[in-house]
Amino acid sequence: MPVAASQLRIAADLAPSEPAHRPASAPRERILHVFRAPVGGLFRHVLDVTRLQVAAGHAVGLFCDASTGGSRAEAALEELAPDLALGLTRLPMRRNPHPSDVAALMALSGLVRRAAPTVLHGHGSKGGLFARLALAGPQARPVRAYTPHGGSFNYRPGTPLHRLYMAAEGLLTRRTDVFLFESDYIAGRYRAYVGPTDRLVRVVHNGIGAEEFAPIVPAPDPFDLVYIGELREAKGVPVLFEALARLRREQGRTLNLLVVGSGPDDVALRNRVADLGLAQHVQFEPPQPIRAALSRATVMVVPSLAESLPYVVLEAAAAAQPLVSTDVGGIPEIFGPAAPALVPPRDAAALAGAILRKIDQDPEQRRGEAAALSAFVRCRFSMNRMAEDGLAGYAAARARRDRG
């Protein structure tokens, strides 16, 4: 369907000037980030990278969905919009393949022709699809970069739909100049399910800022546990509830849990809590700043069934929050030497045991383990390094392509 002009917010300097008219301080790159939903870790990643690229003197723009994100995304994008030299473009996009994808791709192609980006960087499965298929004009040769964030690589491996997604990823490789994987885990999933590639591959870990290592001041009368994230089955929340029910039934231990988040399985999860007789011990609250939520509990639990390199774990680890987590995705990369403490996914008994050990642990030892993990994260997951390595990836891909 046609895209109304009002759906496109383009900055005044969208059309590139002739080089002779550019000031000496003109941006070195013109980068258009393409992604679908302005939510979760992917959105945080794009915002962080965008701010640092703008600060480094590059012209940046965003192209994303207009139907998701809610007021929090609106506020974040509104704050960032004045700094986006290539503008902020939002229009409806569906998570799964849909006929409306054609209209979105046409709109992106038009934007690319007008903005003349030197880099098209797709994030997530839908963003990667659009960034690599967008038409740029006969003379334009933007670097096409792709950062998967789990997405189709984690979607029900072995099923016909997963095989279809991986076949599409294989075809799209031909339109990719550089893969900027955010974890060794997802890079491995690509090799396993798509196969080897002759394209440039870099692992650019998600990074966090120095201020996120500041100690958290505990709130009075904290919960025993906190879960922070999407309310959906894939995040393993039902397994967490079953672990709490086991502790109560088999150990006579009743722990209080704060659940912070929203998602498609909200009602079903609340009903599950009631069915397990935990309604008096589990409190649901909407999304809120992570440090505020962490301050209200002794231990954070991450019961996920699949992940890539989750920011919520990075942020909690940096803040020296005691953690119990499943052994999925790139989480072992975050835990490093502490990875043997991770729990198998879908195992309520193992999760219950890990929770009880952490809760009953000597407080000084618990704080020491959390501090050691924070120190490991500080050394390995730098936000500035993330931005610098991404820019280096663009440049290396361009040089490699030009040599070829």
Sign of the alpha-carbon torsion through 178, 176, 209, 361 = negative
CA 32 to chain centre: 18
Residue 2 confidence (pLDDT): 35
Local mean pLDDT, 10-residue blocks, the chain (404 residues): 38 39 61 95 96 97 94 94 98 89 96 97 96 91 94 84 92 96 95 95 96 94 96 95 98 97 95 98 95 98 95 97 97 98 98 98 97 97 96 96 86
Which tokens is 336 given? Answer: 């490093």
Pick the CATH number of 211-380 from 2.120.10.30, 3.40.50.2300, 3.40.50.720, 3.40.50.2000: 3.40.50.2000
Pick the CATH number of 5-17+27-207+383-403 from 2.30.40.10, 3.40.50.1820, 3.30.1490.20, 3.40.50.2000: 3.40.50.2000
Residue 15 confidence (pLDDT): 40
Q: How far is CA 73 from CA 63, 70, 286, 393, in A?
A: 13, 6, 15, 28
What residue type is 318 in one-letter code? A
Residue 4 confidence (pLDDT): 38
What is the chain's Cα-based Rg?
Answer: 22
Q: Are the C-beta atoms of 104 and 63 separated by less than 8 Å?
A: no
Residue 139 confidence (pLDDT): 83
Residue 395 confidence (pLDDT): 96
User: Could you give the residue range(s) of every CATH 3.40.50.2000 domain in the chain?
Assistant: 5-17+27-207+383-403, 211-380
Q: What is the per-residue pLDDT across 39-53, written as a single tens digit (0 to 9) for each?
A: 889 999 999 999 999
Sheet holding 119-123, edge to edge: 8-9, 88-91, 59-65, 30-34, 119-123, 143-147, 178-181, 200-203
Q: What is the per-residue pLDDT across 350-396, written as a single tens digit (0 to 9) for each?
A: 999 999 999 999 999 999 999 999 999 999 999 999 999 999 999 99
